[in-house]
Amino acid sequence: MIELGVNVDHVATVRQARRTYEPDPVVAAALAEQGGADGITFHLREDRRHIQDRDVAILKETVTVKTNLEIACADEVVDIACKTLPTWALLVPESREEVTTEGGLNVASDNGRIQAAIDKLQGHGILVSLFVDPDPHQIEAAANLSVEAVELHTGPYALASGHEQLLELERLKKAGELTTAAGLRLHAGHGLNYHNVRPVAQIDNMIELNIGHSIVSRAVMVGMREAVAQMRQILDLVSP
């Protein structure tokens, strides 16, 4: 069975648009668990644009499935991870200009920064996963860093269509073989949705998929009718 990690960042994005208390990613995580999530993923960005420190602390306390804290290789957030002790730390590159994580980590030309973050996290008993492009050089470099998992970046696959998408799928399959041959757990994520997820889930030895935006988008749509009906009911009670 493929494990489903549900990313709740986008719930926090809606909350931060008003800097209020709702919708709360903590509540969304509890509901995601009820829906069958095997893990909850949340990205504490250095600019705190969506998930806040308070969310990280409460999610760690309340989530009963695996917690997967996505962070950059930066001291401040690595220290927070070491204090919080999520099940997994998912290391990603981060830039302030990007709308979302745009590419995998450049593990192949790392100057020791990634390894230092891995050592610190693993020293606290946290499992480490590296978010990388499906590029053989990056997978080889990731395998040399003694991490527990590689998360393949499925963004380019998700954005492509037709023949290009098949080529991207082949890249993912080859990268998956290398990852498994290196003895690492195979994860994947980014841009996966209800239409494009199946071929990725069928890649040999795929263990875990992390999915956020499409699930939160669908949650808004499947919940809209009921949300409006509840407001209608309140107004009708005031003035039938």
CB of 104 to ligand PXP, least distance (A): 8
Tell me the backbone φ, ψ of residue 40, rounded to 5 degrees.
-120, 125
Cβ neighbors of 153 (< 8 A, separation 6 or more) are 103, 104, 131, 132, 133, 134, 188, 189, 190
Nearer to ligand PXP, 26 or 192 (CB): 192
- d(CA 148, CA 181) in angstroms, rounded, equals 13
Q: Which of 43, 50, 153, 187 is catalytic?
A: 43
Nearer to ligand PXP, 11 or 90 (CB): 90
- d(CA 10, CA 43) in angstroms, rounded, equals 10
- Clarify whether 190 is annotated catalytic: yes
Nearest CA to 5 among 66, 56, 55, 58?
66
Task: Provide the mask over 82-121, with x wherever binding to ligand PXP is found by CB under 6 A and - wherever it is not.
Answer: --------x-x-------xx--------------------
Select from 55-63, 111-119, 170-178, 187-195 the region that touches ligand PXP (CB under 6 A): 187-195
The verdict on 196 binding ligand PXP (CB under 6 A) reads: no
| Token pair 């957030």 in the structure block, residue | 77
The verdict on 129 binding ligand PXP (CB under 6 A) reads: no
Judge whether 80 and 53 are in contact, CB under 8 Å: yes
- Residues at the site binding ligand PXP, with contacts judged by CB under 6 A: 7, 9, 43, 70, 90, 92, 100-101, 131, 151, 189-192, 210-214
Q: Catalytic positions, please?
A: 43, 70, 190
